[in-house]
Structure 1
C-alpha cells in the first residue's frame, strides 16, 4: 500500500484529531492538517498528498471552493468531503466539483476507512 499520505482539513481541531486517530491506527500517514480551504490548497501544493479529507463548512474558503482549486492544480487529486447531517445540497455540489466521496459527521471509523480505501485504491 503505497498511497497512504493524507491531508486532513477541518476548522475544528478535535475533528482533525478524531480522523487522524482513525487513520494512523490503520496504517495511514497523516502528512498535514489545515483549518480552512485556503490553507488546504497551500498544503496540497506543498505536500502532494494521496488523499485529502475535507470539511465542507469552513471560514475563509469553504471545502467546495477548495476542491475546485485543488482539482485545477491536479486533475487526479483525490478528495473526500466531510459534512454534517442535512448538507445534502453541498455534498452534491462538492461531488460535482470533483470530490470522490463523502463521510457524514459524527464519524464512524469503519465508514471513514471504507471511503479512504475506496478513494485511493
Structure 2
C-alpha cells in the first residue's frame, strides 16, 4: 500500500486531503504542519509520496523539498498550493517536486498525481 505524508499548515486542508487519500485506498502515514516537521517526519516514516504546501511557518515547502531530496534523492513530492504562478511551479520542480497541483483541487487530480508520481 502506498504510504502518503500530508504537509500543510492548515489543519482543515490536512483533514480534507487525508479523507481524499484514504478514500482512494492509500495510507496516510503522517501529517505535518510545516516544512521543518515534514523533514523530520520524512526521515522517520519514509513515505512513498509526500503532498506538500509551499507557504508555511518555520520552513516553507520549497526549502523542505530541497532538504528532503538531500536526504533521499528519490523522494516523490507533489506540491499542492494555491499559489500556482509559473515561476513558483518551476521553482518547485527545480527543487525536486514531481508534480504541482493548484488549490482548489479536484479529487481525481490528487489520485492521478499520486498514481503517476508513485510509478516514477
Paired residue for 1:34? 32
Root mean square deviation, CA, Å = 1.0
Paired residue for 1:20? 18
Q: How far apart are residue 91 of structure 1 and its match?
A: 1.7
CA contact (8 A) 1:83 1:91 kept: no
Q: How far apart are residue 46 of structure 1 and its match?
A: 0.4
Q: How many residues align?
A: 119
Provide the secondary structure at the position in 2 that maps to 1:75: coil
CA contact (8 A) 2:77 2:97 kept: yes
> Gaps spanning 5+ residues in structure 1: where?
none
Structure 1 residue 93 and structure 2 residue 79: aligned? Answer: no
The 4+ residue runs of structure 1 with deviation greater than 4 A are none
CA contact (8 A) 2:84 2:102 kept: no
Give CA deviations for 1:9-52 in whole Å, capped at 9, x if unaligned: 00001111111111101100000000000000000000000010
Provide the secondary structure at the position in 1 that maps to 2:28: strand
CA contact (8 A) 1:56 1:90 kept: no
Give the alignment's TM-score, normalised by structure 1.
0.95
